[in-house]
Amino acid sequence: MNNAAIGSPLQRIFLEALVLCVFAAVVGISLNYQLIFNAFSGKTVAVPTVAVVAVPDVASDNAAPIAPLPFPVELDELESLLAAGAVLVDARSASAYRQEHLSGAVSLPFAEVESKLDNFKQQVDLKRTLIAYCSGYGCPDSFDLGVILLQAGYAEVLVYEGGEPEWRAAGLPLVGGD
Amino acid sequence: MACCRITAGGGRLMLFSGKIVYHGSRLILAAVFIYSGLIKIQDVAAFAGEIANYQLFPYAWNYLIAAILPYLELLCGVLLLINRRVRPAVMVLTLLNLVFIVVLVSALSRGLDISCGCFNPDSANHNSLSTALWRDLGLLVLMVGTWVLHGIRCRLEVE
């Protein structure tokens, strides 16, 4: 066997592998350009897992009213909201919160909301604006927690969809590791 | 494919058993990556969230990776299924798998409490990172086997 016989099939395989990657990239980007564009331009991509929340209608047989849903909030709006007294609520697990969380955030894990909500309500006044977050876009817990907090009586609940990853990427302070 | 003539003698048994193992590995890999690709394509944003949990890439880049990776897995899986361009597909999947292994080891070493995001990008369904690591090592063995057996099979059949 000479060197050309060894080298050329491998080169061909490598080139074909490269073509596969380029083809997949073109298809993937074409089909998801809006999502990618939004992510790179910092726009909020709402990924609600609870589209509408119907409240049981006890007063009449008419269609049930739609429960209020938390509004999404973007990173650049957080500063003014926090300065005005809003409270960050970490919907991730308690261990993730202990490890690292947004500076000033209060822990209320979505998985434990039933057992911890009463204690949370004693700590945080119902008039305060809440901003729920979890592990970024695609993480449904912050939105779902927001729905529950609104049902629990909080007047204004917002969801920071970018969550911990976007906060970290922006170089904003994280607390934890204790 | 050009490699399609069976030789006589001892090579025949080797060829037969090799063929079984080769096609078995190829089809297992095809099933795994077609499933993996299809399930991630259904919710790219959620998959981006899973990648972001690894805290390795700048924020928006997670979305770009999440948009491309499932299609690459699906494409390679389909090529393995139809037994065409097997080696290029295996090369891509092997490189991806090596990256996954490095990423999983990195996450484990940092003690991250996250879902591996390997298949279903559902935060309620947490897969153990160490389980995912062992699974990726198993897939790596299948990939190497498929690559090697594809070459041996072709050589034996062409001779």
- pLDDT digit string (tens) for B74-83? 999 999 999 9
Judged against a pLDDT cut of 90, whether residue B19 lies above it is answered with no
Nearest by CB to residue B68, choosing from A24, A40, A93, is: A24
pLDDT value of position B5: 46
Rounded to the nearest angstrom, the minimum Cα separation between A68 and chain B is 24
Q: Which amino acid is at B104?
A: L
Would you call A30 exposed, middle or buried from its count of C-beta atoms within 10 A (0-12, 13-18, 19+)? exposed
Q: Kindly state the percentage of chain A with pLDDT values over 70.
A: 79
Structure tokens at A168: 């970290």
Rounded to an integer, the average pLDDT of B120-145 is 80
Cβ contact, residue pair A28, B49, below 8 Å: no
Give CA angle at A52 (A48, A55), nearest 5°.
135
pLDDT band for A100, please (50, 70, 90 cuts): confident
From the candidate CATH numbers 3.40.630.30, 1.10.287.3510, 3.40.250.10, 3.30.360.10, the one assigned to the domain spanning A43-175: 3.40.250.10
Judged against a pLDDT cut of 50, whether residue A42 lies above it is answered with yes
Question: Domain boundaries in chain B?
Answer: 11-158
Per the model's pLDDT, the better-predicted residue between B58 and B105 turns out to be B105
Rounded to an integer, the average pLDDT of B50-70 is 85
**Separation between Cα atoms, residue B159 and residue B157, nearest integer Å:** 6
Rounded to an integer, the average pLDDT of B59-65 is 85
Rounded to the nearest angstrom, the minimum Cα separation between A48 and chain B is 11
Contacts of the segment B60-65: beta carbons below 8 A, 24+ positions apart: B60/A36, B60/A39, B60/A40, B60/A42, B62/A39, B62/A136, B62/A165, B63/A32, B63/A35, B63/A36, B63/A39, B63/A40, B63/A137, B64/A29, B64/A36, B64/A39, B64/A40
Cβ contact, residue pair B59, A165, below 8 Å: yes
pLDDT value of position B64: 92
A136 at B interface, C-beta within 8 A:
yes
Question: Domain boundaries in chain A?
Answer: 3-31, 43-175
B96 at A interface, C-beta within 8 A:
no
pLDDT value of position A60: 45
> Which of B53, B82, B154 is the mutation pick for testing A, counting most A CBs within 10 A?
B53
Q: Which of A4-8, A22-26, A70-74 has the lowest mean pLDDT?
A: A4-8
